[in-house]
Amino acid sequence: MKSRLAIVAGLLCLALPMLADDDKPTLNIDLHSRVSFMNDRVGNEIRHDASGFKGDYFFLIANGQVDDHFSYSWRQRINKKIDRNDMFDATDWLYVSYQADRHWGVAAGKQVVMIGGYEYDRSPIDIYTSSEFWNNIPCFQFGASASYTTTNGKNRFAFQVSQSPFNIPQHRDMLAYNAFWGGNFGFLNTLYSLNMIEYSPSHFISYMALGHKLNVGNASLELDFMNRAASGQTFMFKDCSVMARVDYRVLPQLSLYGKFTYDVNRAEKEADKCVLPGTELTAIGGGVEAYPLKGKSDVRVSLSVAHSAGTNSNPAGTMLDDQTTVRLGLVAKLHVLSWKK
């Protein structure tokens, strides 16, 4: 813990002098945390190692402006052990952005790999039931990106080159090429991507991820479809995932949600590292979220239930057949500091 705090303090000390030399520097610091009490069962057998109290996530988030063009963002997992062989393993992202004008921007550093879909886009602190794909994708990698936003602000297009999520110590030069579109049309929003990802040296798997969010009054529906295929296999529907989530705000301080996921891989080629060949899993869940602070959603208490069924051919997979999980959770998103020169 001392080493983690030292690294955090050191990075902040480096950031503040940099900010002091610029025209309009700002700094915002937030702490996000989730703790849970879990009851996890397979059939009628309780899984003692996965049950009881858990500290799920503890994030330190710092972001702000350096001047009118440069900005930065950093998210650190305080409760994750730092690997001496990879000092950035506990850093989700740490990047600098340059916005040339209202249309064009570039960014570089450790970033979120640009893959479409609303399940993928959510912070893990806000997910209670997830797909097998979401559980296994290493989504934070070093890279660079360029983006273009249309004049009306409703469309954002981006292209990113990053480390492959499946890079290994012997081949850190494995890459991913990611094209992304985010649309905002009021009642309908979209997060689409086309990805070419190196899963082994000089061998690629392609993703087509189509994410949709429909907003109607106090309700919203998120619906994602992802197709995955390597060369030499049928492109559509052999290896894919479907994720759907419905949210309904019953009262200002109470909301309900339901979630469905389906992962399948009938491809014979061992190219998909997230949903292995022979896997077919379905999960369904739901729950309630309460917001004890009037007018604020920064603190919430949740009660959720999820059940998964099917075949998971990954021995280290997170979802199991006939698995039922009950979770009582507390989420706190606390704003610690806002600073402006």
13 vs 163, higher pLDDT: 163
In this prediction, residue 235 has a pLDDT band, given cuts at 50, 70 and 90, of confident
Does the structure show a pLDDT above 80 at 3?
no
In this prediction, residue 233 has a pLDDT band, given cuts at 50, 70 and 90, of confident
Which pLDDT score is estimated for 268?
Answer: 83
Q: What is the domain extent for residue 297?
A: 2-340
Q: What is the pLDDT of residues 137-191, one digit of tens each?
A: 999 999 999 999 999 999 999 999 999 999 988 999 999 999 999 999 989 999 9
| Average pLDDT taken over every residue of the chain | 92
Greatest CA span in the chain, whole angstroms? Answer: 62
Residue 48: φ, ψ to 5°: -65, -30
Can you read off the two tokens belonging to residue 116? 């479409």
Q: What is the pLDDT of residues 292-317, one digit of tens each?
A: 998 788 999 999 999 999 999 999 88
**Structural domains in the chain (count):** 1
Q: Give the containing element (helix H, strand E) for 11.
A: helix 2-20
Does the structure show a pLDDT above 80 at 230?
yes
Which pLDDT score is estimated for 21?
Answer: 47
Q: 3-state class of 15 per DSSP?
A: helix
CATH code (residue 45): 2.40.160.10
Give the integer Cα–Cα distance in Å for 304 and 96.
37
Does the structure show a pLDDT above 70 at 259?
yes
Q: What is the pLDDT of residues 178-193, one digit of tens each?
A: 999 999 998 999 999 9
Q: Of the ranges 148-157, 229-238, 315-324, which one carries the lowest mean pLDDT score?
A: 229-238
> Does the model's pTM come out above 0.85?
yes
